[in-house]
Amino acid sequence: MRTERTRRRRLPARFGRETTLAVPLAPAVGFRATELTEFERLKERLLREQLTTETRPELFAALRRAANDAAAVAWTMPFPSLVLPELFREKVTAARHYDAKQATLRRGDQPVRDAEVAA
């Protein structure tokens, strides 16, 4: 039994004229492109300083990863070159702490405290 509520009424589809949107083209090289080279140089300089002072080669990969992570986060900030050095220092500290913790787990010693890693 069909009632007024269950009756379906077909509506014809009407489409208007097809429209196109004008999309402005981006310049070939933007301001951030020149900033990137200076930023990359800063990152490499900070990394080189850490690698020359580091005596354990097994930590080199972790330091490179710390530099890349810090650069990725800093690049999202309004002034990435100002943020990068401090962010890199924090990442290096975390990498050294993680390495020391892993070394103690491999040896089976007592867990490492934060004060011992900073020394």
Residues 26-57 as b/e (b if ≥16 CB within 10 A, e otherwise) read eeeeeeeeeeeeebeebbeebbeebeeeeeee
Can you give the pLDDT at residue 29? 57
pLDDT tens for each residue of 15-74: 888 877 777 766 555 555 556 688 999 999 999 999 999 988 889 999 999 999 999 999
pLDDT tens for each residue of 59-83: 999 999 999 999 999 999 999 999 9
Nearest to 46 by CA among 55, 35, 57, 38: 38
Q: For the chain, how big is the Rg over CA atoms in Å?
A: 28
E strands, 12-117, in order: none
Can you give the pLDDT at residue 10? 78
Can you give the pLDDT at residue 36? 67
* pLDDT (mean) for 87-105: 93
Q: In the block, which residue shows the tokens 């020391």? A: 100
